[in-house]
Structure 1
Amino acid sequence: MAVQREWATPVAAGAFLLSAVTGVLIFFHIDSGLNKFVHEWLSWVLLGAVALHLVANFGGIKRHLVARRGQVLIGAFALILALSFFSPGGQKSEPPFAPPIRALSAAPLTTLAQVARLGPEQLRERLTTAGLQPTSDQQSLADLTGPDMRRQVQVMSSLFAVAK
């Protein structure tokens, strides 16, 4: 089955429009509703549509790959992609939320209860519901979960959840 330009190009253009608009909204922190979900998941449509567009326009693509300008431009973007996997100065960067999560996880449960605006008993109930077994108010969340930050965030989400 030959890929038809009549639909491959409009699908690629539409998927690009969707990805570009939602990406700009996310970049400027003005996204709402399902913008982030749509951006992340429907970007797969963009990848597929661009692949089909490349197949449908393979002759033109070959001309660009043979021309010096095309090689330089594609090479430049490939280099930028490769460099994006490295941190400046060899530092391992962490997400900006990591230090506060680490600090809250290291605090005694009594402090965590105050921050979450819960009584100590409410905090213990929520921790038990989350599958943890606190034995002392002086324990920390890190004592209960270990060093797994993802687990700490999950538990904190349940602690800070507002009852509906």
Structure 2
Amino acid sequence: MSTLRKFATPLTIATFTIVGVTGVLWYFHVITSAGRWMHEIIGLAMVVVVALHVVLNWRAFKTYFKRPLAIGIIVLGVVLTVGAYLVPDQTQARGGPPQFAAFSKFADESLATLGPIFDTTGEILVTRLEDAGYTGATPASTVEDIAGSNTRAQMEAFSAMAADGSGTGGQGVGAARN
């Protein structure tokens, strides 16, 4: 057990440093894929290391249960953690993960309105959608009219509208077609 005790605190400090620094970088959107990987994997390792640290230092840890301030801080941490999972997930309420937000925001706009986004007109978007297998579209149609309320199906319709006429856009639309 003395070998474990020798490594428990340095491992706790090292994993906290990695998770803390990568977490701050991620918050400010200055992170690489290696940084994300380290944050997630080392974060999992940190849970094990902290648990080991608590077990090895249990006597000292027990003294905190005699202090009202320490108990209050621990309870606050538990309440915040549990509370975060009791609050409804706002990303799901908006129609899915945040990276899909733009699709759901534009899904109820007409093709004529969306034309300038694709540097074209609503009529050309209708043609692109028809080439991709969508039927019944008009410049007044919305993406939701064409693809339904499923965000992934809407993304596929947007992909078809972005097609450059090479015949490759909109492939794999499958079930989203009318």
Q: TM-score, normalised by structure 1?
A: 0.64
Between the aligned residues of both structures, percent identity stands at 24
Compare CA radii of gyration and give the structure with the larger one.
2
Could you tell me whether the CA contact under 8 Å between 1:106 and 1:142 is conserved in 2? yes
Q: 1:77 to 1:57 in 2, by over 3 A?
A: same
Report the Cα distance in structure 2 between the residues aligned to 1:44 and 1:108, rounded to whole angstroms.
46
Higher relative contact order (CA 8 A, sep 6+): 1
Total equivalences in the alignment:
151
Partner of 1:141: 143
Q: Offset of 1:43 from its aligned partner?
A: 1.8
Q: C-alpha root-mean-square deviation of aligned residues, in Å?
A: 3.9
Partner of 2:38: 38
Alignment of 1:102-121 (within 5 A): 102-109=104-111, 111-112=113-114, 114-117=116-119, 120=125
Report the Cα distance in structure 1 between the residues aligned to 2:78 and 2:4, rounded to whole angstroms.
28
Q: Which amino acid aligns with 1:104?
A: F
Report the Cα distance in structure 2 between the residues aligned to 1:158 and 1:47, rounded to whole angstroms.
45
Could you tell me whether the CA contact under 8 Å between 1:105 and 1:142 is conserved in 2? yes
Q: 1:154 to 1:10 in 2, by over 3 A?
A: farther
Q: Which amino acid aligns with 2:53?
A: H
Could you tell me whether the CA contact under 8 Å between 1:8 and 1:49 is conserved in 2? yes
Q: Which amino acid aligns with 2:67?
A: A
Q: 1:121 to 1:101 in 2, by over 3 A?
A: closer
Could you tell me whether the CA contact under 8 Å between 2:108 and 2:143 is conserved in 1? yes
Secondary structure of 2:103's counterpart equals: helix
Could you tell me whether the CA contact under 8 Å between 1:3 and 1:56 is conserved in 2? no
Q: 1:69 to 1:115 in 2, by over 3 A?
A: same
Q: 1:3 to 1:99 in 2, by over 3 A?
A: same
Q: Unpaired segments of 5 or more residues in structure 2?
A: 164-178
